[in-house]
A = this chain, B = another copy of it.
Amino acid sequence: MKLAVFFSPDEPASADLARRTVVIIDVLRATSTIVEALAHGARAILPAENIEEAVKVAKNVGRDAALLCGERGGLRIDGFDLGNSPAEYTPEAVGGKLLVMTTTNGTSALLATSHAKRSLVASFFNLEAVAADLASREEEDEVVVVCAGREGRFALEDAVCAGALALRLRNHLGRRLEPNDAASAALMLGARYSRSPARLLRRTEAGKQLASIGHAADVAFCAEVDRHKVVPELRERQITL
Q: Give residues in A with beta carbon < 8 Å to B.
A: 5-8, 10-11, 14, 150-156, 159, 180-182, 184-185, 188-189, 192, 203-205
Q: How many copies does the complex hold?
A: 2
Report the 3 A-B pairs with minimum CB-CB distance, sorted nearest first.
A156-B181, A154-B182, A181-B205
A176 to B201, CA, bound (A): 21
A204 to B11, CA, bound (A): 18
Bound-state Cα–Cα, A48 to B204, Å: 38
Contacts of A159 in B (CB 8 A): 181, 185
Residues from chain B with a CB closer than 8 A to the CB of A155 are 181
**Which of B10, B150, B151, B154 is close to A185, meaning CB atoms less than 8 Å apart?**
B154
- Other than the given A10-B10, A10-B152, A185-B189, 9 more pairs (CB < 8 A) read A7-B154, A8-B11, A11-B152, A11-B154, A155-B181, A156-B182, A156-B185, A159-B181, A189-B189
* Bound form: Cα–Cα A11–B7 in Å: 11
